[in-house]
Amino acid sequence: MVVMKIKSARFPLSNPALAVRPARDLLLEWFIGLLAVGVLLMSCGAAGTAPERRVLVYTRNEIGKGLYVHDNIPASVAAIKKLGEQNHFVVDVSDDPAVFTDANLRRYGVLVFDNTNNEIFDNEDQKAALQRYIHAGGGFVGLHSASGSMRQWPWFWALLGGKFNRHAKLQTFTVKVKDAHDAATAHLPPAFEWSDEFYYLDHMPEGLHVLLAGDTTKLDDPGKDKYPGKSSGDEFPLAWRHQFEGGRSFYIALGHKPEHYSDPRLTRLILGGILWAMGTEAQRPKNQPSN
């Protein structure tokens, strides 16, 4: 709260002209001061967006011969920006690993690794900044090929909930909802058909809260007997969340095609993940239009 002190005007009463002008000047000064306070308060509100309502979308991919970069990134970024507009959180986007500093990361309630792949950091300081962010209670959301990021860093696998092993060819398969009461999946039917790559991860820690699983019984995948084999039965997890070292992590394996990011089944799942990672899971996602 800003308090302005206005001093009493002093002027010689023997001169009526001087008696009028200072009073008018004081009124003008008061009005200008009030206007300045309003501008100051508005600027503070705009610049002071609470960290828990600001999201950083990170899209870094290692570029090189034989390394794959998804063409879905523009569509996924646009979808997340739209979710931010509709649900009142700010979305910043970067593919520059230099954004991983303590000072910058503390501005964000959630980091979304949007189809990142392979090596996505330049140095150990950036990796350490991510670790400190999570340890301080930060939120993490990984989309699709994010599980193929940092393939030599076990800590990152543990954060995400696994490491990319391989995927079956793009095809239609059945997705089953494993927790229909979660805000991220409440909009989904008990099972639905989905056309996508079927991702298999390994190094998956115990304690993941699985939200979606894919039915592998009818999957056209000659390699499934080798991995995952019988270890996961007739289903394999495709979306989950878990608490990790003080922070929150949410991962979705779906989302290979650009058009997936205009499908409300996926966009509302992403929104639910962002809200949960923010710590606002009690706020169920609003109905999202398909475009």
Which domain-ending residue is among 48, 72, 91?
48
Give pTM, 2 decimals. 0.80
- Under a CB-based contact definition with an 8 Å cutoff, are residues 281 and 249 in contact? no
Helix (H/G/I), strand (E/B), else coil: 36: helix
- Report how far residue 123's alpha carbon sits from residue 125's, in angstroms, rounded to the nearest whole number: 6
CATH code of 185's domain: 3.40.50.880
Residues 34 and 142 in one domain: no
Question: Quick check: is 285 in a domain?
Answer: no
Could you tell me which of 204, 193, 182 has the C-alpha nearest to residue 254? Answer: 193
Question: Quick check: is 283 in a domain?
Answer: no
Q: What's the pLDDT at 49?
A: 55
Question: Quick check: is 82 in a domain?
Answer: yes
At 283, is the pLDDT very low, low, confident or very high (cuts 50, 70, 90)?
very low
Q: What's the pLDDT at 2?
A: 40
- Under a CB-based contact definition with an 8 Å cutoff, are residues 58 and 116 in contact? yes
For residue 43, give its domain range.
Answer: 16-48
> What's the number of domains the chain is made of?
2
- Under a CB-based contact definition with an 8 Å cutoff, are residues 180 and 187 in contact? no
Q: What's the pLDDT at 215?
A: 98
C-alpha distance across the termini of the chain, in Å = 43
Residues 139 and 222 in one domain: yes
With a CB cutoff of 8 Å and minimum separation 6, the contacts of 276 are 139, 183, 184, 241, 248, 250
Q: Dump pLDDT digits (tens) for 86-134.
A: 999 999 999 999 999 999 999 999 999 999 999 999 999 999 999 999 9
Residues 25 and 129 in one domain: no
Beta strands in the chain (DSSP E): 54-58, 90-94, 110-114, 139-143, 163-177, 191-202, 209-215, 235-244, 247-252
265, β-bridge pairs: none
At 28, is the pLDDT very low, low, confident or very high (cuts 50, 70, 90)?
low
Q: Dump pLDDT digits (tens) for 45-59.
A: 444 555 669 999 999
Residues 181 and 249 in one domain: yes
Residues 35 and 165 in one domain: no
Which CA distances in Å does 195 have to 20, 43, 105, 173, 222?
A: 79, 46, 35, 6, 18
Residues 22 and 144 in one domain: no
Top pLDDT among 290 and 163 is at 163
43-57, 98-112, 180-194, 262-276: the lowest-pLDDT one: 43-57
Which CA distances in Å does 202 have to 15, 157, 180?
A: 90, 9, 25
Question: Quick check: is 286 in a domain?
Answer: no
Residue type, 11: F
